[in-house]
């Protein structure tokens, strides 16, 4: 390809016109090649829409802790209920007739009612991180769920995500940095702190009895001493009473 | 093409490097001059609105975005990872679906953003597989490349998208990427530069070089073109 500078070489202006899709005299084959490359989509080029839509639905339903998201969540749920078509296609593996029936609301009730559950279990299976971290311990670090989710990303994705005020905005705010290593470190700590939490609870239990036992003994001694003095006073008053009679 | 309207022309400062000012007199991108492979042609769905609605969780709008962006994305990825493009496109869409709420921009921005994610996923993929799988186009089809003088170009009319993309994929990667982002994904030089992490001028130069090379390929002997006898395989 040393013949880069051929006499009829395309100048920059011509190249720009070709790149914009214009047909340039003397370069018709090239223009057509570019047109072929940029031709309208064929149905074969649209695979994966169902999977992408499922991921989208899952992402829409996963609450990102921010006030704006709560209304978005409601909106997503409302939209989801109207988007039965996609759901039925997923559930039935794309039976066209059923999808049509669902779209027009003509599915038998049990099928219609089954849909949200089916989608929920599907999304749960696809990514378990959303559920546990959300429903999980409120006692753990408030950012623990987010950190778990964050830790599941590969390095490059983490880096990319931190540059945007997206789902990990809270982390960048907390750490006051968009530096991946710092956020990594922070999340490591948060996650470690959580995994350590259950082991601190049992360690309280052995500490309990030894400390309560002496106080119980003390209490018992006091009680018996009081009881003894009571008896003594009663017998004393009894004696005095009988003496008075 | 109201969607693309606000991006019309006005080459930026960086647009001017490596190309003379005179040559840049033509606006960088002419909305409507090219048929958009993504389906955003005039009268098509309002994709700017679709971006907004999808960010609010609207699945139907997300579907619109998918159908509009996927063909260009898939072809671009084909140039990067060959026959693994569909897998990489799937990964790309998973990430788009997940991160869409953090995206800021319009339809053009969305296309560029999607291409950027796709490119990252493709690079990840190439690291994993350590090689690019060639696009499977029957070698006989390269014989369809017409001679440069063949201005009627019936053969080019018959040239399918696959073959055209496969040819572009034979270019050095930076040239192929520049052409694909501009012609197929539909970005201008500046937006393509953002995807590639390069200046607009550099992207433009790469695209021009690629075009010159493609032009030279027309009518060349296949064996000479690819430095081997493809039929021997």
Instruction: Provide ipTM, 2 decimals.
Output: 0.72
Give residue A200's pLDDT band: very low, low, confident or very high (50, 70, 90).
very low
Highest mean pLDDT (candidates A61-70, A103-112, A196-205, B155-164): B155-164
Measured between alpha carbons, how far is B211 from B112 in angstroms, rounded to an integer?
22
Query: What pLDDT is stored for residue A28 in this prediction?
Result: 81
Q: What tokens does A200 get?
A: 């601190």
Whether B47 shows a pLDDT value over 80: the answer reads yes
Residue of A52, A213, A17, A155 whose CA lies nearest to B28: A17
Q: Are residues B94 and A52, on separate chains, in Cβ contact within 8 Å?
A: yes
Distance from CA of B124 to the nearest CA of A (A): 9
B101 interface with A at CB cutoff 8 Å: yes
Convert the pLDDT of each residue in A68-112 to its tens digit. Answer: 554 555 555 555 555 544 554 455 544 444 444 444 444 444 443
Contact at CB, A30 and B30, closer than 8 angstroms: no
Residue B153: CA count within 13 A, CB half-sphere: 20
pLDDT of res. A224:
42
Q: Does A24 touch chain B (CB under 8 A)?
A: no
**What is the count of residue pairs from A and B with beta carbons less than 8 Å apart?**
214
pLDDT value of residue B49: 93
A135 vs B: CB within 8 A: no
pLDDT at residue A183, rounded to an integer: 84
Chain A's closest residue to B120, CA to CA, is A156
Given a contact cutoff of 8 angstroms between Cβ atoms, the answer to whether B37 and A46 are in contact is no
What is the average pLDDT value for chain B, to the nearest integer?
75
Taking residue A126's Cβ as centre, other Cβ atoms within 10 Å add up to 14
Question: What are A157-183's pLDDT values in tens digits?
Answer: 887 777 776 778 788 877 777 778 888
Q: What are B172-218's pLDDT values in tens digits?
A: 999 999 999 999 999 999 999 999 999 999 999 999 999 999 888 77
Q: Which is higher by pLDDT, A152 or B90?
A: B90
B50 Cβ neighbours under 8 A, 6+ residues apart: B61, B62, B64, B65, B68, B107
Sign of CA dihedral B213, B131, B144, B74: negative
Quick one: A68 exposed, middle or buried, by C-beta within 10 A (0-12, 13-18, 19+)?
exposed
Domain ranges of chain B: 2-232
The pLDDT assigned to B221 comes to 54
Cβ(A122)–Cβ(A61) below 8 Å: no
Question: Does the distance separating the beta carbons of B63 and A86 come in below 8 Å?
Answer: yes
In this predicted structure, the answer to whether residue B154 has a pLDDT above a threshold of 50 is no
What DSSP element (H or E) covers B36?
none
Which residue does chain A place closest to B25, by CA atoms? Answer: A13
Left if phi > 0, otherwise alpha if psi is -120 to 50, otherwise beta: which for B135?
A: beta
CB contact under 8 A, A167 and B99: yes
Mean pLDDT over each residue of chain A, to the nearest integer: 61
Question: What is the pLDDT, as a whole number, of residue B18?
Answer: 38
pLDDT of residue A42: 80
Least Cα distance to A14 among A3, A5, A26 occurs for: A26
């Amino acid at each position: 390809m040393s013949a880069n500078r051929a006499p009829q070489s395309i100048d920059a202006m011509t190249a720009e016109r070709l790149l914009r899709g214009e047909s340039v005299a003397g370069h018709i084959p090239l223009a057509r090649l570019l047109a072929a490359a940029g031709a309208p989509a064929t149905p074969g080029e649209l695979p994966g829409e169902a999977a992408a839509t499922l991921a989208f639905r899952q992402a829409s339903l996963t609450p990102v802790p921010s006030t704006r998201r709560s209304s978005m969540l409601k909106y997503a749920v409302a939209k989801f209920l109207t988007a039965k078509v996609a759901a039925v296609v997923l559930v039935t593996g794309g039976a066209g007739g059923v999808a049509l029936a669902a779209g027009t609301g003509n599915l038998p009730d049990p099928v219609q009612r089954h849909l949200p559950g089916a989608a929920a279990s599907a999304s749960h299976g696809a990514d378990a991180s959303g559920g546990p971290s959300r429903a999980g311990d409120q006692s753990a670090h408030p950012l623990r769920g987010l950190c778990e989710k964050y830790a599941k990303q590969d390095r490059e994705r983490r880096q990319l995500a931190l540059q945007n005020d997206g789902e990990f905005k809270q982390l960048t705010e907390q750490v006051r940095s968009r530096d991946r290593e710092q956020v990594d470190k922070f999340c490591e700590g948060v996650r470690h702190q959580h995994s350590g939490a259950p082991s601190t609870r049992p360690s309280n239990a052995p500490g309990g009895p030894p400390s309560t036992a002496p106080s119980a003994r003390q209490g018992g001694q006091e009680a018996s001493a009081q009881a003894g003095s009571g008896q003594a006073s009663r017998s004393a008053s009894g004696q005095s009473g009988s003496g008075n009679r | 093409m109201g969607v693309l309207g606000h991006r019309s022309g006005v080459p930026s400062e960086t647009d001017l490097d490596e190309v003379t000012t005179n040559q840049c007199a033509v606006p960088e991108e002419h909305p409507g001059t090219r048929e958009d492979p993504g389906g955003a042609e005039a009268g098509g769905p309002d994709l700017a609105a679709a971006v907004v609605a999808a960010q609010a969780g609207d699945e139907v709008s997300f579907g619109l975005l998918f159908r509009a962006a996927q063909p260009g994305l898939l072809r671009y990825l084909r140039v990067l990872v060959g026959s693994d493009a569909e897998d990489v496109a799937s990964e790309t869409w998973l990430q788009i679906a997940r991160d869409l709420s953090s995206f800021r921009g319009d339809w053009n921005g969305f296309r560029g953003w999607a291409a950027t994610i796709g490119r990252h996923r493709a690079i990840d993929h190439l690291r994993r597989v350590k090689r690019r799988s060639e696009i499977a186009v029957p070698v006989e089809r390269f014989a369809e490349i017409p001679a440069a003088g063949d201005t009627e170009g019936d053969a080019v009319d018959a040239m399918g998208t696959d073959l055209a993309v496969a040819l572009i994929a034979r270019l050095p990667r930076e040239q192929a990427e520049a052409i694909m982002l501009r012609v197929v994904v539909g970005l201008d030089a500046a937006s393509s530069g953002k995807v590639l992490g390069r200046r607009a001028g550099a992207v433009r130069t790469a695209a021009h070089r690629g075009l010159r090379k493609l032009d030279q390929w027309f009518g060349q002997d296949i064996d000479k073109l690819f430095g081997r006898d493809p039929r021997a395989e």
